[in-house]
Amino acid sequence: MPPVETPVEKWAGKIHEVNLGGDARRLVVGGETTLPFLHFEGAIPHPPAVAVEVQDRPPASWAPELRASWGEAMEDPASWAKKAVEYGADLIVLYLSSAHPDDQNTGPQEAKKTVTRVLSTVDAPLIILGPGIAEKDNEVLVAAAEAAAGRRVALGFCEQKNYRTIIAACMANNHVAVAKTPVEINLAKQLNILICDMGLAPDSILMDPTTGALGYGLEYTYSVMERLRLAGLQGDKMAAMPMFCTVGEEAWRQKEARATEGIPAAWGDIATRALRWEELTAMTLLLAGADVVVLRHPQVVQRIKATIQKLMTKE
């Protein structure tokens, strides 16, 4: 019987460490020199962070279960963020949803106001996302970037078709960019290269490989993330950005998290199923290398926080 040797892989690379937040509360993500939670092999200096999604106006389309869980806090993004921090959020994702032309079509002034209010209410680092329409994103994110100067927030989404203005705003105010690409490793790397070409440092980028929820393309996200992480650890610096996943949004968009009528008994009751849907999506992507998971339900936040802690504890 040959002795059992611990099979350790030697990785040449290291995931970039991205600093977020102001003096009052800093957060670092990334820095891994091994695959997720394999403590026997390398360093995992910072646990993955749990972010809570807060919208700048009450999200009428959210599932009733979700809306009930936050209650009145949703009326005001600052109090919502405050409550999220109480539930354990490491950072806040602030969606400027109201800026969407089909929503309230709010502009840079409103964005500035919202960001300032949230920043003055919570110390937790912020990730600010635009409504996803290029023109509006550029408008409100530039304003948000100025309002958040000195607090090193992350701004998104930079996409291949629209990233330059957001990156310029990041560079002007020392912020971090969230680069989003559609579930493809080479596109992810390419966008990172393009962003770095503009002059933003590699340690100022989070990459969002696009999240597919459990049952809705999760396996694609999972494998793209595994490949990105492997490439990063093998020394490809343009694949070594910490990864960011919009878990809550994707999980709660699906029928499984919303449907209450006319569904098979095998689906189980809505609350159990919906929460597990979000949790398992998060869990799986954490194992693929997610460094920031954005969640929606307070109970899920607590459970995933606790689970990360267990995964970070060498037993």
Partner 1 sequence: MSKFIASAAIRGGQEIVKEADQLLKETLEKYGPEQKVGFANTAYYLPVIYAYTAHKVEKLGDMIQPMEQAKALLPRRMPTEKLWLPYLGETLDAGVATLFAEEIISGVRHVMGVQPEKQNGYTYNGPIDDIQLRTWGIQLVDGRMPGFAAIVGRAKTNAIAVKIVRELQQRNILIFLSGNVNGKGIVEQLLEEGVELGYDTFTVPFGSDTISAIYALGFAARSALTFGGMKPGQAKDVLLYNKNRVHAFVLALGEVDDLKYATAAGAITYGFPTIADTVIPNIMPTGITKYEHVVSMPFDDIPGNDDMERAERLIQRCIEVRGLKLQITKVPIPVSYSAAFEGERIRRGDYQVEFGGRGGVTFELLLSKKLDEVEDGKITVVGPDLDAMPVDSNQPLGVVVEVAGRKMQKDFEPVLERQIHHFVNMAEGVQHIGQRDIPWIRIHKNSVARGFRLRHFGDILYARLHADFGAIVDKVQVTLYTKQDKVRELREQARQVYNERNERAANLTDESVDTFYSCTLCQSYAPTHVCIINPERVGLCGAYNWLDCKASYEINPTGPNQPVPKGAVIDESKGEWEGSNRFTYQHSQQQVNRMTLYSLMDAPTTSCGCFECIMMIIPEANGVMILSRDDPSMSPVGMTFSTLAGMAGGGLQTPGVMGHGKFYILSKKFIPKEGGFKRVVWISSNLKEELAEGIKEVCQRIGEPDLMDKIADERVATTVEDLVAFLETKEHPALSMEPIIQ
Partner 2 sequence: MALTGIEIYKHLPKTNCKECGQPTCLAFAMKLAQKGIELSKCPHVSPEAAAALEAAAKPPMRLVTIGVGDKKLEVGNETVLFRHEKTFLNPTGIMVRVADNQPAAEVESLVAEVASYSLERVGMELRPNGFAVDNRSHNPSSFAQCVATIRAKSQLPLVLISQDPSALETALEKVGQERPLIYAADSHNSEGVIKLAKKYQCPLAIRAEDGLGQLAELSDLAAKAGVEDIVLDPGTRGFASSLEALTQIRRLALKKNFRPLGYPVITFPGEGAATPEEEVLLAGEHVAKYANIIVLDHFSPGHAYPLLTLRQNIYTDPQKPIQVSPGMYTIGSPRDNSPLLITTNFSLTYFSVAGEVEASGFPSWLLIADTEGLSVLTSWAAGKFDAEKIAKTVKGFNAQDSVRHRKLIIPGAVAVLRGELEDELSGWEIMVGPREAVDIGGFLKRVWAN
Q: How far is the CB of 175 from partner 1 (least distance, A)?
A: 12
Task: Report yes or no: 78 and 121 within 8 Å, Cβ to Cβ.
Answer: yes
Q: Which does 201 bind (CB under 5 to 8 A by kind): partner 2, partner 1, none?
A: partner 1
- Tell me which of 123, 146, 203, 226 binds partner 2, using CB under 8 A: 226
| Stretch in the footprint of partner 1 (CB under 8 A) among 49-57, 60-68, 229-237, 243-251 | 229-237
Is residue 230 part of the contact set for partner 1 (CB under 8 A)?
A: yes
Choose among partner 2, partner 1, none what residue 65 binds, the Cβ cut-off being 5 to 8 Å by kind: none
193 binds, among partner 2, partner 1, none (CB under 5 to 8 A by kind): partner 1
By CB under 8 A, the residues from 18 to 77 that bind partner 1 are none
Out of 38, 68, 149, 172, name the contact with partner 2 by CB under 8 A: 38
Least gap, CB of 144 to partner 1 (angstroms)? 13
311 binds, among partner 1, partner 2, none (CB under 5 to 8 A by kind): partner 2
Pick one of 5, 23, 102, 197: the residue that binds partner 1 (CB under 8 A).
197
Per-residue mark of binding to partner 2, 124-143 (x: CB under 8 A): --------x-----------
Q: Does 273 bind partner 2 (CB under 8 A)?
A: yes
Q: Kindly state the smallest distance separating residue 190's Cβ from partner 1, in Å.
A: 5
| SS3 of the chain | CCCCCCCCCCCCCCCCEEEEECCCCEEEEECCCCCCCCCCCCCCCCCCEEEEEEECCCCCCCCHHHHHHHHHHHHCHHHHHHHHHHCCCCEEEEECHHHCCCCCCCCHHHHHHHHHHHHHHCCCCEEEECCCCHHHHHHHHHHHHHHCCCCCCEEEEEECCECHHHHHHHHHHCCEEEEECCCCHHHHHHHHHHHHHHCCCHHHEEEECCCCECCEEHHHHHHHHHHHHHHHHCCCHHHCCCEEECHHHHHHHCHHHHCCCCCCHHHCCHHHHHHHHHHHHHHHHHHHCEEEEEECCHHHHHHHHHHHHHHHCCC
State the Rg of the chain over Cα: 19
Binding residues (CB under 8 A) for partner 1: these are 138, 142, 146, 164-165, 167-169, 171-172, 183-186, 190, 193-194, 197-201, 227, 230-231, 234
Binding residues (CB under 8 A) for partner 2: these are 1-7, 9, 35, 37-40, 61, 102, 132, 212, 214-220, 222-223, 226-227, 230, 253-256, 264-269, 271-273, 275-277, 279-280, 283-284, 287-288, 303, 306-307, 310-315
